[in-house]
């Protein structure tokens, strides 16, 4: 018998996770068992080594192919379970109800709305139920469901025995129904713009080929690649519609080639270096179809090399036009499946209604690349439609992979050239986005503030150059800022013509959109040092991490850049409210040593591992402190640990310490296991 346990598992900090991990081990002694979870990247390494682990998105495919006979769904009162609920309807199986109060599971999102209690609805949709006494008490008339039983709360062996018996009585039958006819579903055209990506395009196209959405067509627009990309697509993916451009039109112009030819109900965009989960399109369309006023749906984009770290959950923008990918560099600790309104969707993975795209004219060709998604998003809101983020529509993106981040570094000259080109387009397009989309009244208020802020940036750059700090970098930034204002001034007639076209669709005033404009000021410095971020899948743990010396590939999210501090005799990094570091015991270790400082005010610091709390310390304002915390269990030689630091934070600008608006926690010079 081939069963699949569908449940959240360690290291997720749910009350039931340890019980479910032990239940999996007990079941594996009796049957062939797979594990299905929200995201396999979040599952503890020892479970991944012992079991075949899939994303829940693969469940219908696994059931249809016969890879599993019956799914076994564990359900309790936590949002960590909510993402899996829709599969109970699609692939009925054996339901393990562990909690009688299921009111917070947001089942109306993933199941059709109904007046009956969530637990009863789930029981009705399942093939059988095993329940604790507490859960069974709310089932009422559904207790006659096959295989209902009352089991002790925390007895994995008894649960495993009952599950195997119930599954044998029910027999195979978890197979998903056949996919609905393509003609009954809205049509979707996936557009991928390619440019010299022959070596990386295959995973992207394969993930589109394997989508479980029935009515989909894929179009690749090749931007005059010189590496044989177009020939490769023709030979290996003959089902793909290839549009070969004679010149490089950029991301905006390349997509527009496909937009102007598409007649699909929806158009989905996917970056050439992104890989979509099997149900990506299904989830995007499902969210869009809930509300006809939704014109665009953004995806949950994860880092390809750090799959537990967010790349983007949409775009935020402040009033002077600086954008940032929402939650970029943060660890994915939010299990909510609920869509939410966002200012903009990242063009690397989104869905937009075809009629709206054709009405608004697609992207603005003048942007070439960067900010074209923000510009289109702004125009969608101005036209009276909505944009939402769909947390269950997941892709993994090789963020900045074109700069050689995957270990195959480009030459320094090529790296610098690409970085400079990216900066030029970002600075230029930030200004023309504001010029096009703000009302004239708002523009008169905002543009002077943007100019004043850029003058402050230029003054800071001049000061840095006088100190001799990274002259090539700062000159590049200075040229990009000055050049952006000159370029927009020279092209003002063209921008104003495009502005009139954009404003023609305005149905909403700027005051109504103010709730979507973020309150942070200036550039998004609060996101921390994104180049330093790793997770346990990409980290190279060390026994001793010294900031600025031996911290490469050792740090997770939550760190700002390295700062030399001569007065402290070392280099340091500020933490955010929560930060991670990866340590490896070169020899047996019994304690954790930190060199830390509190900054301008006292702070309480707590330290934990995946397995639990390590200890805490109170730091007074002043110099460096050496702290040694005993580990709850000694680390054997060769073992690696994910260590988390938690503390309160402050913003220097709030304390009258200058314009720095970063979220700062504690100063860390060194972390080591001893």
Reduce the DSSP state of residue 325 to 3 states and report it. Answer: strand
Q: Give the pLDDT confidence of 486-495 residue by residue, as tens digits.
A: 999 999 999 9
Q: Percentage of the chain surpassing pLDDT 70?
A: 94
- As a whole number, mean pLDDT of residues 25-36 equals 96
> What is the architecture, at CATH level 2, of domain 2-170?
3-Layer(aba) Sandwich (3.40)
Average pLDDT, the chain: 90
pLDDT digit string, tens, across residues 246-275: 999 999 999 999 999 999 999 999 999 999
Give the pLDDT of residue 100: 75
> Can you name the CATH fold of 528-673?
Jelly Rolls (2.60.120)
Three-state DSSP at 461 gives: helix
Does residue 655 have a pLDDT over 50?
A: yes
The Cα 532–Cα 559 span in angstroms is 8
Which band of pLDDT confidence, cut at 50, 70 and 90, is reported for residue 35? very high
pLDDT band at 408 (very low <50, low <70, confident <90, very high): very low
Compute the chain's Rg from CA coordinates: 27
Region 535-554 average pLDDT: 94
Write out 257-301 in H/E/C secondary structure. HHHCCCCCCEEEEECCCEEECCCHHHHHHHHHCCCCCEEEEEEEE
Topology (CATH) of 182-403: Spore Coat Polysaccharide Biosynthesis Protein SpsA; Chain A (3.90.550)
Residue 268 to residues 255, 522, 642, Cα–Cα distance (Å): 11, 32, 37
Average pLDDT for residues 449-475, to the nearest whole number?
91
Q: What is the pLDDT of residues 427-454, one digit of tens each?
A: 999 999 999 999 999 999 999 999 999 9
pLDDT band at 374 (very low <50, low <70, confident <90, very high): very high
Q: How far is CA 162 from CA 2, 27, 128, 623, in A?
A: 16, 10, 12, 60
Token pair for residue 614?
């390590």
Domain boundaries, the chain: 2-170, 182-403, 412-519, 528-673
pTM for this predicted structure: 0.93
Please name the helix (run of DSSP H) or strand (run of DSSP E) that holds residue 388, with its range, or none: strand 386-397
Q: Kindly tell me if the per-residue pLDDT of 413 is higher than 80.
A: no
What is the C-alpha to C-alpha distance for residues 639 and 585, in angstroms, rounded to an integer?
6
| pLDDT at 114 exceeding the cut of 90 | no
Q: What is the pLDDT of residue 140?
A: 61
Residue 11 has pLDDT above 70, yes or no: yes
Mean pLDDT calculated for residue range 607-622 = 90
pLDDT at 404 over 50: no
- Contacts of residue 277, defined as CB under 8 A and 6 or more positions apart, other chains included, come to 55, 57, 207, 393, 394, 395, 396
Q: In sequence order, what are the beta bridge partners of 559?
A: 575
pLDDT at 406 over 70: no
Pairwise CA distance, residues 54 & 298, whole Å: 23
- DSSP assignment, residue 329? T
pLDDT at residue 474 greater than cutoff 80: yes
More confident residue, 100 or 479: 479
Residue 284 and residue 297: Cα distance in Å, rounded?
6
Task: Summarize pLDDT for 504-532 with one digit per residue, the tens.
Answer: 999 999 999 999 999 888 889 889 999 99
Tokens representing residue 290 in the block? 């809930």
Farthest-apart Cα atoms in the chain, separation: 80
pLDDT of residue 112: 64
Name the pLDDT band for 409 (thresholds 50, 70, 90): very low
Specify the long-range contacts of residues 619-622, CB closer than 8 Å, at least 24 apart: 619/666, 622/597, 622/598
10-19, 129-138, 358-367, 557-566: range with lowest mean pLDDT: 129-138
Position 145 scores a pLDDT of: 62
Minimum mean pLDDT among 182-186, 386-390, 624-628: which range? Answer: 182-186
Question: With 90 as the cut, is the pLDDT of residue 339 above it?
Answer: yes
Mean pLDDT of 400-428: 71
Q: What is the pLDDT of residue 319?
A: 95
Q: Decide if pLDDT at 383 tops 90.
A: yes
Helix residue ranges per DSSP H, 383-530 = 412-437, 440-467, 471-490, 492-503, 510-513
In the chain, pLDDT over 90 holds for what percent of residues? 73
- Report the sign of the C-alpha dihedral through residues 426, 427, 430, 433, in that order: negative
User: Is residue 263 a contact partner of residue 194, using CB atoms and an 8 Å limit?
Assistant: no
Res. 113 pLDDT band, cuts 50 70 90: low
C-alpha span between 440 and 448 (Å, rounded): 13
| Distance, CA of 267 to CA of 345 (rounded, Å) | 13
Mean pLDDT of the region 455-465: 92
Q: What is the pLDDT of residues 170-197, one digit of tens each?
A: 888 766 666 677 778 999 999 999 999 9
pLDDT, one tens digit per residue, over 273-282 is: 999 999 999 9
């Amino acid at each position: 018998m081939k069963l699949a346990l569908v449940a959240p598992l360690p290291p997720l900090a749910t009350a039931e996770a340890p019980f479910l991990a032990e239940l999996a081990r007990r079941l594996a002694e009796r049957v062939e068992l797979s594990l299905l979870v929200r995201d396999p990247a979040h599952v503890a390494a020892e479970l991944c080594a012992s079991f075949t682990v899939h994303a829940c998105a693969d469940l219908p495919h696994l059931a249809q192919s016969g890879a599993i006979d019956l799914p076994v769904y564990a359900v309790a009162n936590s949002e960590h379970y909510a993402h899996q609920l829709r599969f109970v309807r699609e692939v009925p199986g054996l339901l393990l109800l562990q909690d009688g109060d299921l009111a917070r599971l947001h089942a109306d999102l993933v199941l059709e709305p109904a007046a009956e209690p969530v637990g009863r609805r789930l029981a009705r949709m399942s093939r059988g139920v095993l329940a604790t006494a507490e859960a069974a008490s709310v089932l009422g008339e559904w207790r006659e469901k096959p295989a209902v039983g009352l089991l002790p709360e925390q007895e994995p062996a008894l649960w495993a025995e009952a599950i195997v018996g119930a599954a044998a009585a029910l027999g195979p039958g978890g197979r998903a129904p056949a996919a609905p006819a393509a003609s009954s579903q809205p049509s979707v055209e996936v557009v991928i713009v390619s440019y010299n990506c022959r070596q990386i395009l295959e995973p992207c196209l394969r993930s589109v080929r394997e989508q479980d959405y029935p009515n989909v067509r894929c179009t690749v627009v090749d931007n005059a690649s010189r590496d044989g990309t177009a020939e490769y697509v023709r030979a290996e993916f003959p089902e793909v519609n290839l549009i070969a451009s004679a010149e490089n039109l950029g991301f905006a112009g390349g997509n527009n080639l496909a937009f102007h030819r598409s007649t699909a109900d929806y158009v989905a965009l996917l970056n050439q270096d992104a890989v979509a989960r099997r149900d990506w399109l299904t989830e995007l369309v499902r969210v869009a179809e809930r509300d006809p006023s939704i014109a665009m749906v953004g995806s949950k984009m994860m880092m390809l090399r750090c799959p537990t770290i967010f790349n983007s959950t949409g775009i935020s923008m402040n009033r002077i036009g600086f954008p940032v990918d929402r939650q970029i560099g943060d660890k994915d600790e939010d299990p909510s499946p609920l869509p939410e309104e966002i200012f903009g969707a990242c063009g690397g993975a989104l869905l937009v209604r075809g009629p709206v795209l054709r009405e608004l004219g697609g992207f603005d060709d003048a942007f070439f690349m960067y900010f074209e998604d923000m510009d289109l998003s702004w125009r969608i809101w101005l036209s009276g439609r909505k944009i939402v983020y769909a947390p269950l529509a997941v892709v993994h993106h090789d963020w900045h992979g074109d700069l050689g981040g995957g270990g195959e570094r480009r030459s320094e000259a090529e790296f610098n050239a690409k970085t400079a080109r990216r900066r030029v387009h970002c600075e230029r397009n930030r200004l023309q986005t504001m010029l096009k989309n703000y009302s004239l009244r708002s523009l008169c208020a905002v543009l002077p503030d943007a100019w004043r802020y850029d003058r402050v940036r230029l003054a800071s750059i001049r000061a840095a150059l006088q100190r001799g700090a990274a002259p090539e970098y700062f000159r590049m930034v200075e040229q990009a800022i000055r050049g952006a204002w000159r370029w927009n001034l020279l092209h003002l007639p063209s921008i104003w013509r495009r502005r009139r076209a954009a404003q023609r669709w305005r149905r909403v005033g700027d005051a109504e959109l103010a709730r979507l404009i973020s309150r942070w000021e200036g550039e998004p410095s609060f996101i921390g040092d994104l180049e330093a971020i790793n997770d346990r899948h990409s980290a190279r743990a060390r026994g001793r991490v010294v900031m600025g010396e031996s911290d490469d590939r050792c740090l997770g999210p939550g760190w700002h850049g390295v700062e030399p501090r001569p007065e402290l005799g070392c280099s340091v990094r500020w933490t955010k409210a929560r930060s991670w570091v990866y340590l490896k015991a070169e020899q047996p270790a019994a304690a954790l040593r930190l060199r830390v400082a509190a900054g301008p005010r006292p702070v309480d610091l707590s330290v934990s591992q995946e397995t639990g709390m390590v200890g805490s310390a109170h730091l007074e304002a002043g110099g460096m402190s050496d702290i040694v915390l005993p580990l709850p269990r000694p680390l054997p030689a060769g073992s690696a640990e994910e260590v988390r630091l938690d503390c309160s934070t402050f913003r220097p600008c709030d304390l009258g310490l200058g314009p720095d608006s970063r979220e700062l926690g504690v100063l860390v010079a060194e972390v080591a296991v001893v």
